[in-house]
Amino acid sequence: MSTDIAQRFGSGQSVRRLEDDGLLKGVGQYTDDLQPAGQLRLVFVRSPYPHAKITSVDTANAASMPGVRKVVTGEELAAAGVKPIPSMPAMPDGSPVKTAPRLVLARERVRYVGEPVALVVAETLQQARDAAEAVWVEYEELPHVTDLTQAAEAGAPEVYEGAGTNIAAQLRHGDAQACDAAFGQAAHVVKLEIVNQRVSALTIEPRSVLAWIADDGRLTMRMSTQMPSGVKTSITQDILDLAPEQVRVTVGDVGGGFGMKTGIYPEDAAVAWASWTLKKPVKWVADRSEEFLSSFHGRDQRARAELALDREGKILGLRLRTLASTGAYATATGMLIPLLIGPWVQTSIYHVPVIDFQLQAVLTNTASTGAYRGAGRPEAIFIMERLMDESARQLGIDRIELRRRNFIQPAQMPYTSPMGQIYDVGEFEKIMEEGLDLADWSGFEKRAAQSKAQGKIRGLGISTFLEWTGGNVLTERVTVDIQADGVIEVFSAVNQMGQGIATTLAQLVVDAFGVPMDKVRVVLGDTDRGEGFGSAGSRSIFTGGSALKLGSDKALDQARELAGKELEASAADLEYAAGRFTVKGTDLGIGLFEVAAKQPRGHIFVEHTNTVAGPSWPNGCHVSEVEIDPATGSVQVVKYSSVNDVGRVVNPMIVRGQLDGGAVQGIGQALLEQMVYDRDSGQPVTGSLMDYAAPRADVVACEFVTEMNETVPCTNNPLGVKGVGELGTIGAAPSVVNAVADALARAGRKDAARSLQMPLTAPKVWGMLNGV
């Protein structure tokens, strides 16, 4: 590769994002930017009740209103052959799942506020809204339950009638008998009740769907989604009576996903059906209230955690009893995240000899839960890091020393966790030491004294942790097309949603071919170009990038063979650099794109599928310092430092942006965010940005330093990279909460430090300081 090109565009360089140019010029193309001729707008009629029977739906007045093309109820959709969105019939251990069918439009019964009951298609958005208000639905209210603990109790109102329980599914992990024995031998048992509150994903761009019939007669969809192939599969195999070749799903610019835009929603299927039925373009764009009401929420777990330790502070065992809300309909992600994925990292970077986990997914009359940045790992790590700090307080051991005594050591790698997960590499103590140095941990007491002089209470918090990435979907397909016009076009089924994936993939192409960035074109988000899992679980570069690296190598090898034929030389005798082949020791050569032009079809095309050897295990040390104003209880993060082991870094600027953005979301959960349902009425009371407190820039208006460690590359993929998109979210919340707990303990409120729960709002913290 040309050294100059490598230094400007290749791996390790902070290349500016290719995606930004169009967005900054205002020519980006989100779903709502497409305005096909004859486009119709769709609006949903949604349930105002958390649980009720639908006794009648009168659409006559709405259907007669100006501009209305169609008004449809759940009964009519069923009669038209539209099937429910498929659910997971059983857990991995074969145990059954209890959940009601998740319908595109509800019929007979609604189970949460905001569930779609009918749809209206009209010529304009205002006409559709007016007609939706004219649809008259009569309901018979039923008992409801929105509180997770209450829903799990015997005799609670049934979300799924006839199930006999609201426990949708449950799993157990570990060895209960061995764990009991470990606890029986323990010198210390530390217990905590921990809540991971329900939060909203809150993407800048709401969910958006446009469907139309293309000139070739196929249903074509443009969506704001992370998984176009998954949507296509659901539409064709499960919900509508269409063959795969009749449907195409494309994705343009996406204004954030955070896991919430994975899989298919009822609204997606409704738009597809309406367009296919009317043979017209149909668009639905959620408003902000609809997003709060009906998009997947994250977290919503309550855990009773117990850690057994010996006299020296070595961990003997971990016991966990967790309830996790699935919402009204138990989706696969809503169950697997708390019952399986979170537990995979529950013991984190510590050697825990034995575990006993009893985990239950619980139905509630709320919107369904699903993937949200971190998807189970933030909840699990939060539990573990809170236990470690509380154990240090109760045992009188320095919290850093306690961690050192329990870290998994490099000599133990590859390490098999109690959940059977295999960590390929990890040097956790080294990362912690770097984090402590970066944060100037030893200088904290001086800063605490300065805060005290200003009437503030300063606290210091740490989280040392790991993350699991890849979604256990470890295979990805790419195509590499060397074209005669001087462009290398690559396609991958991973998908961009604002995180710079196209730029990073382009840099990998530069690595392979040594050509300038403007010679690379990255194509994403089109099921006609290829099928794949999409982007979730921090897998895009880990799996998609690895496939692209090997596919590019394969394409270059093929081009080398073809160049040898043109030059009448052995491929082994050719040298390659900066887009040109030359015969060793001569000036005889031929350009890469010239070789492509000489082929019968005018290009060199390679398709490659690759499977990485296993997940990656990025890890980090995040350190927070907070100041509490004792007069108000207000908490301010005043210093945030992190060192992150993310393996090889392709684009440092993009990686740092992902780490910082994730940390802000974690800080938001720690201090501000909570999706609240009123227990008595079942109504969401944080259904707008007037009520839901999202993190703002001033939340991190402090010394904020992020570093990356590349000395421990992943051995499970050819790039050596580790997933990075969710790491900051996982480390931030426990770091901040541990800092607040430390401040409370320093203020003489160790009891409050033990019992504090997120979000740490000013009234809550003031009450803890003042014993009320």
Report the candidate in 411, 402, 410 with the shortest Cα–Cα distance to residue 310.
Answer: 402
pLDDT tens digits for 294-353?
999 999 999 999 999 999 999 999 999 999 999 999 999 999 999 999 999 999 999 999
CATH code, residues 421-467+617-772 = 3.30.365.10
Phi, psi of 707 (to 5 degrees): -125, 155
Task: Assess contact for 118 and 74: CB atoms under 8 A.
Answer: yes
User: E strands, 646-717, where?
Assistant: 703-709
Q: Please, which pLDDT band fits residue 479 given cuts at 50, 70 and 90?
A: very high
Q: Please, which pLDDT band fits residue 542 given cuts at 50, 70 and 90?
A: confident
Question: How far, CA to CA in Å, does 468 sit from each of 110, 345, 378, 423?
Answer: 36, 7, 11, 9
pLDDT tens digits for 716-735?
999 999 999 999 999 999 99
Task: Assess contact for 667 and 699: CB atoms under 8 A.
Answer: yes
Task: Assess contact for 13 and 651: CB atoms under 8 A.
Answer: yes
**What distance in Å separates the CA atoms of residue 524 and residue 481, rounded to the nearest whole number?**
14
Six token digits for residue 346: 């529950």
pLDDT tens digits for 354-378?
999 999 999 999 999 999 999 999 9
Q: Which residue has the tokens 């209960």?
A: 176
CB < 8 Å & 24+ apart, contacts of 558-563: 558/604, 558/606, 559/482, 559/592, 559/595, 559/596, 559/604, 562/595, 562/598, 562/599, 562/604, 563/590, 563/592, 563/595
686, amino acid identity = T
Report the candidate in 119, 15, 198 with the shortest Cα–Cα distance to residue 652.
Answer: 15
Report the candidate in 724, 376, 345 with the shortest Cα–Cα distance to residue 538.
Answer: 724
CATH code, residues 3-29+471-611 = 3.30.365.10
CB atoms within 10 A of CB 80: 12
Answer yes or no: pTM beyond 0.85.
Answer: yes
Quick one: CA dihedral 435, 436, 437, 443, positive or negative?
positive
Six token digits for residue 640: 């945030």
Q: Give pLDDT, residue 179.
A: 98
226, amino acid identity = Q
Q: Which residue has the tokens 């109690």?
A: 418
pLDDT tens digits for 240-262?
989 999 999 999 999 999 999 99
Task: Assess contact for 648 and 720: CB atoms under 8 A.
Answer: yes
Task: Assess contact for 674 and 198: CB atoms under 8 A.
Answer: yes
Six token digits for residue 562: 């073809």
CATH code, residues 34-142+204-256+261-294 = 3.90.1170.50
481, amino acid identity = D
**Residues whose CB falls within 8 Å of the CB of residue 186, separated by 6 or more in sequence, listed in order:** 308, 309, 310, 316, 317
At 95, is the secondary structure helix, strand, or coil?
coil
**What distance in Å separates the CA atoms of residue 341 and residue 678, rounded to the nearest whole number?**
29
Q: Please, which pLDDT band fits residue 536 given cuts at 50, 70 and 90?
A: confident
Convert 722-735 to b/e letters by CB count within 10 Å (16 or more is b). bbbbbbbbbbbbbb
**What distance in Å separates the CA atoms of residue 279 and residue 697, rounded to the nearest whole number?**
46
Helix ranges restricted to H, 32-162: 60-63, 74-79, 125-134, 148-152
Report the candidate in 448, 378, 430, 449 with the shortest Cα–Cα distance to residue 639.
Answer: 448
Q: Give pLDDT, residue 1.
A: 45
Between 472 and 543, residue with greater pLDDT = 543
* Domain parsing of the chain, residue ranges: 3-29+471-611, 34-142+204-256+261-294, 144-200+297-408, 421-467+617-772
223, amino acid identity = M
Radius of gyration in angstroms for the set of CA atoms belonging to the chain, rounded to a whole number: 27
Rounded mean pLDDT of 187-216? 97
pLDDT tens digits for 756-767?
999 999 999 999
Q: What is the phi-psi region of residue 85: left when phi exceeds 0, alpha when psi lies from -120 to 50, beta otherwise? A: beta
Report the candidate in 389, 391, 192 with the shortest Cα–Cα distance to residue 309.
Answer: 391
Q: Give pLDDT, residue 511.
A: 94
Q: Give pLDDT, residue 6.
A: 60
pLDDT over 70 (residue 7): no
Rounded mean pLDDT of 92-101? 95
- Number of H helices and number of E strands within the chain? 23, 28
Quick one: CA dihedral 328, 103, 686, 498, positive or negative?
positive
Q: Which residues pair with 738 in a beta bridge?
A: none
**What distance in Å separates the CA atoms of residue 391 and residue 188, rounded to the nearest whole number?**
9
Give the architecture (CATH level 2) of 144-200+297-408: 2-Layer Sandwich (3.30)
Six token digits for residue 758: 């997120």
pLDDT over 60 (residue 2): no
Please state the three-class secondary structure of 212-225 as a single string: EECCCCCEEEEECC
At 766, is the secondary structure helix, strand, or coil?
helix
Per-residue DSSP letter, 40: E
**What distance in Å separates the CA atoms of residue 134 and residue 296, rounded to the nearest whole number?**
28
Tell me, yes or no, if the two domains 34-142+204-256+261-294 and 144-200+297-408 fold the same way: no
Q: Give pLDDT, residue 5.
A: 67
Q: Which residues pair with 8 in a beta bridge?
A: none
**Residues whose CB falls within 8 Å of the CB of residue 224, separated by 6 or more in sequence, listed in order:** 30, 31, 205, 206, 207, 208, 209, 251, 254, 255, 257, 261
Task: Assess contact for 382 and 666: CB atoms under 8 A.
Answer: no
Beta strands 415-416; 297-309: pairing state: unpaired
pLDDT tens digits for 131-162?
999 999 999 999 999 999 999 999 999 999 99
pLDDT tens digits for 263-303?
999 999 999 999 999 999 999 999 999 999 999 999 999 99
Average pLDDT, the chain: 96
Please report, to the nearest 10 degrees, the dihedral formed by the alpha carbons of residues 31, 33, 36, 38 taken in order.
100
Report the candidate in 337, 273, 335 with the shortest Cα–Cα distance to residue 726.
Answer: 337
Convert 311-334 to b/e letters by CB count within 10 Å (16 or more is b). eebebbbbbbebbbbbbbbbbebb
Task: Assess contact for 486 and 519: CB atoms under 8 A.
Answer: yes
Task: Assess contact for 722 and 537: CB atoms under 8 A.
Answer: no
Q: Give pLDDT, residue 510.
A: 95
**Residues whose CB falls within 8 Å of the CB of residue 275, separated by 6 or more in sequence, listed in order:** 211, 212, 213, 219, 281, 282
Q: Give pLDDT, residue 10.
A: 86
pLDDT tens digits for 54-84?
999 999 999 999 999 999 999 999 999 999 9
Cis peptide before 414, with omega less than 30 degrees from 0?
Answer: yes
pLDDT over 60 (residue 203): yes
Report the candidate in 639, 634, 480, 491 with the shortest Cα–Cα distance to residue 551.
Answer: 480
**Residues whose CB falls within 8 Å of the CB of residue 739, separated by 6 or more in sequence, listed in order:** 459, 460, 461, 624, 625, 626, 637
Task: Assess contact for 688 and 292: CB atoms under 8 A.
Answer: yes
pLDDT over 60 (residue 533): yes
Task: Assess contact for 189 and 308: CB atoms under 8 A.
Answer: yes
Length of the chain: 772
Q: Which residues pair with 478 in a beta bridge?
A: 492, 608
Phi, psi of 615 (to 5 degrees): -70, 165
Q: Give pLDDT, residue 699.
A: 87
Distance between the two ends of the chain, CA-based, in angstroms?
A: 67
Please report, to the nearest 10 degrees, the dihedral formed by the alpha carbons of residues 563, 565, 567, 569 taken in order.
100
